[in-house]
Amino acid sequence: MRIVVDDLRGPRIARFLQDHLDHMREITPEGSVHALDLDALRAPGVTFWTVLDGDEVVGCGALKRLDDTEGEIKSMRSHPDRRRTGIGALVLEHILAEARNAGLSRLSLETGATEFFVAARSLYARYGFEPCGPFGDYGDDPHSAYLTRAL
């Protein structure tokens, strides 16, 4: 497997991310889906990585700079057929290293608070993320869990 910076112009990653957005909209109430679409992921200050196994897209993740010292993890996803195979940890370790190399001192994220997201929250906890309040442009949302860690 390899992780590559992606300009989000290819049809495979577009389809992969659309599947992600569609799934989040199925399991999360309207107004509580905070996943970014392609245009938002192409914004300045966002770096997006695709995980490839051969030519197959099997995962992704992004780092959004919030300011000179803080960043946010966005769009972490593993292909449904490849969940619990280490792709999430691989992407998270990559983002942590890239954030440190960029001079950031804190990373935060928003994920779901429901049962579906238990595995994701457990992964983040294993890497030192702890619960926090809403950050950036987020507000209180009972369907969201906010996590942060120093780098």
- Domain containing residue 6: CATH number: 3.40.630.30
**Residue 88, token pair as written in the block:** 């999430």
Q: What is the CA radius of gyration of the chain?
A: 14
Reported as a single tens digit per residue, the pLDDT across 26-51 is 999 888 999 888 999 999 999 999 99
Average pLDDT, rounded, for the chain = 95
pLDDT at 52 over 90: yes
| Per-residue pLDDT, 84 | 86
Domain, as residue range, for 12: 2-150
Residues 6+ apart with CB under 8 A from 40: 46
pLDDT at 144 over 90: yes
Reported as a single tens digit per residue, the pLDDT across 66-101 is 999 999 999 999 998 988 889 999 999 999 999 999
Structural domain count, the chain:
1
| Per-residue pLDDT, 83 | 86
> Residue 63 and residue 107: Cα distance in Å, rounded?
9
Q: What is the pTM (predicted TM-score) of this model? A: 0.93
